[in-house]
Amino acid sequence: MAAIEKRSRHEWQELDKEHHLHPFTNHKELHKKRSRIITRADGVYIYDIDGNRFLDGMSGLWCVNAGYGRDELVDAATQQMHELPYYNNFFQCSHPPAIELAAALEEISQPQFRRVFFAGSGSESNDTIVRMVRTYWDLLGQPQRHTIISRKNAYHGSTVAAASLSGMKPMHRQSGLPIPGIVHVEQPYWFGSDRSMSPGKFGVAAARSIEDKINEIGSDKVAAFIGEPIQGAGGVIIPPASYWPEVQRICDEYGILLISDEVITGFGRLGEWFGADYFGIRPDFMPFAKGVTSGYLPLGGVFISDRVADVLIDKGGEFFHGYTYSGHPAACAVALANVRLLQREGLIERVRDDIGPYLQKGWQSLAEHPLVGEARMTGLMGALELVRSKQPVERFDEKQGAGTICRDALIDNGLVLRAVGDTIICAPPFTLTHEEADELIGIAWKCLDLTQQALDA
Ligand SMILES: *Cc1c(COP(=O)(O)O)cnc(C)c1O
């Protein structure tokens, strides 16, 4: 019955090398080493084909929030696929999983959100937003309000529009991005600055770079601002507390739409349903994906505030946009089961009151290591900054590859974390136990030692 052949590691590595191009991968380097073949997972652990076990400190790609091996999510998909594996939401049709999920999402979101539009991924969700934002201003008779402000080093996805919203230079260089009408301002990365300002002052200054950009372009030309509550792929940049209130003030003052990209922070990662709840902001749009299904099936979508949705519905006629898999029934059924699971098990409260604070305390203890210039974590989303010297702070030369050395040591010792330059990042499943948190911190400390030794050698 199984469609997947059983083969040896070597056979799969060869087939992979011959036939499979991977996302965000240098294939020459990959082909020298071959792929790690992951075959199963349970709880917070993944296993490779040789039976090696790894604690997954990244929840896959920030998505397996409920942990692996959740029968209720599998059953939801199975049942739905027997009943109605696919039908679309075009042409005046709808189906129960999409309807029920949309209604459930209304319950858990801020009051301005009553409606969602479904997509297949976070990137698609952000593409949807670019089109909705511009359509909204067109319908209000302000077509010149076209420009969307984003931030350097942001990550909003990899389709053409989402990669344009992203602020990553290597992505832009490869394909002539960003598309017109998308500009980037400073990120609130205090440790990455010269640290001459207090974090509080720095947070306000970073927010004011949005205001400066608005004044430079002309406030009548700015449509929206987009930001991740905490920048994820950019290196878990936790903004100073002063940042988001000032961003909200600026968006309010100039009447521009605020987009909170909740693809990572949504569905509980910060101990609240959404990052916007955690930081006390009131966005007009919230794209989501990843954690909505705990990654068990692909699904994305956009929360649309009444301010926007009412205009699109009342004045817009047909909105010429949608995806074949907008509101895929099996994905929606899994998402609904996942929301109910988070509620029933109180996993978001657990992130806020129990495992969040517990892991944060252990994570902070890593700051005592001579290699760590800063340890930061909010909810279950954290970063370590590797430094050559703590006082004064001196970073390593990029060529030394300190982050990569550390990341490889971590994997060799059974812990998956990621390196963004010399920043080591962490985002484990919400089901992490205290013992597993201790294991994570223990391996991390040991690998900081190993990294130190490798760099000294
Ligand atoms: C991953 C991510 C995206 C893109 O989501 P995909 O499902 O990979 O297209 C968008 N925004 C943020 C903040 C992300 O982390």
What per-residue confidence (pLDDT) applies to 1?
58
The 10s digit of each residue's pLDDT in 260-278 is: 999 999 999 999 999 999 9
pLDDT in the model for residue 27: 96
Structure confidence by residue, pLDDT tens digits, 343-371: 999 999 999 999 999 999 999 999 999 99
Average pLDDT of the residues in 62-69: 98
Measured CA to CA in angstroms, residue 238 lies from 154, 191, 378 at distances of 12, 10, 8
SS3 274: coil
Crossing angle, helix 402-412 and helix 434-456, to 10 degrees? 130
Which residue owns the Cα nearest ligand 1 atom 11? 156
Q: How far is the CA of 233 from the centre of ligand 1 (A)?
A: 9
Task: For 28-57, write each residue's pLDDT tens digit.
Answer: 999 999 999 999 999 999 999 999 999 999
Q: Which domains does the chain have, with CATH numbers?
A: 36-69+354-456 (3.90.1150.10), 72-344 (3.40.640.10)
Kindly state the tokens that stand for 161.
């529009």
- Chain CA centroid to CA 452, Å: 30
Is the CB of 289 inside a 6 Å radius of any atom of ligand 1? yes
Cβ of residue 122 lying under 6 Å from some atom of ligand 1: yes
Residue 179, both tokens: 């598309």
Atom of ligand 1 nearest to the CA of 122: 5
Nearest Cα to 426, choosing from 123, 33, 24, 44?
44
Ligand 1 centroid, distance to 318 Cα (angstroms): 27
Question: Which of 156, 265, 325, 418 gets mutated to test ligand 1 (max ligand atoms within 8 A of its CB)?
Answer: 156
Two tokens, residue 259: 């987009």
Q: Tell me what pLDDT residue 3 has.
A: 85
- pLDDT > 80? residue 2: no
Nearest atom of ligand 1 to the alpha carbon of 61: 1
Alpha-carbon gap, residue 59 to 367, rounded angstroms: 23
Q: What is the largest CA-CA distance in the chain?
A: 68
What is the 124 CA–ligand 1 centroid distance (Å)? 9
Give the mean model confidence (pLDDT) for residues 243-271: 98
Q: What's the CA gap between 366 and 373, in Å, rounded?
A: 10
User: Would the CB of 265 count as within 6 Å of ligand 1?
Assistant: no
Query: What percent of the chain has pLDDT above 70?
Result: 100
Q: Which atom of ligand 1 is nearest to the CA of 157?
A: 4
Taking a C-beta distance cutoff of 8 angstroms, is the pair 38, 60 a contact? Answer: no
- What tens digit of pLDDT does each residue of 146-201 get? 999 999 999 999 999 999 999 999 999 998 999 999 999 999 999 999 999 999 99
123 lines ligand 1 (CB under 6 A): yes
Given a cut of 70, whether residue 396 has pLDDT beyond it is yes
Tell which one of 155, 259, 425 to mutate to probe ligand 1, the residue whose CB is within 8 A of the most ligand atoms: 155
Q: Which helix (H) or strand (E) holds 40?
A: strand 38-42
One-letter amino acid of 342: L
Cα–Cα distance for residue pair 347/267, rounded to 1 Å: 10
Q: Is the CB of 60 under 6 A from ligand 1?
A: no
**Residue 149 C-beta-side C-alpha neighbours within 13 Å:** 29
Q: Please indicate whether residue 155, judged by its CB atom, sits closer than 6 Å to ligand 1.
A: yes
Task: Say yes or no: CB of residue 291 within 6 Å of ligand 1.
Answer: no
73: tokens are 């999510």
Phi first, then psi, for residue 3 (nearest 5°) are -85, -15
> What percent of the chain shows pLDDT beyond 90?
98
Any ligand 1 atom below 6 A from CB of 209: no
Express each pLDDT in 67-112 by its tens digit.
999 999 999 999 999 999 999 999 999 999 999 999 999 999 999 9
Q: Is the CB of 151 under 6 A from ligand 1?
A: no
Counting from 1 in the atom list of ligand 1, the atom nearest the Cα of 300 is 7
Which tokens belong to 13? Answer: 């590595």
Task: Give residue 418's Cα distance to chain centre.
Answer: 13
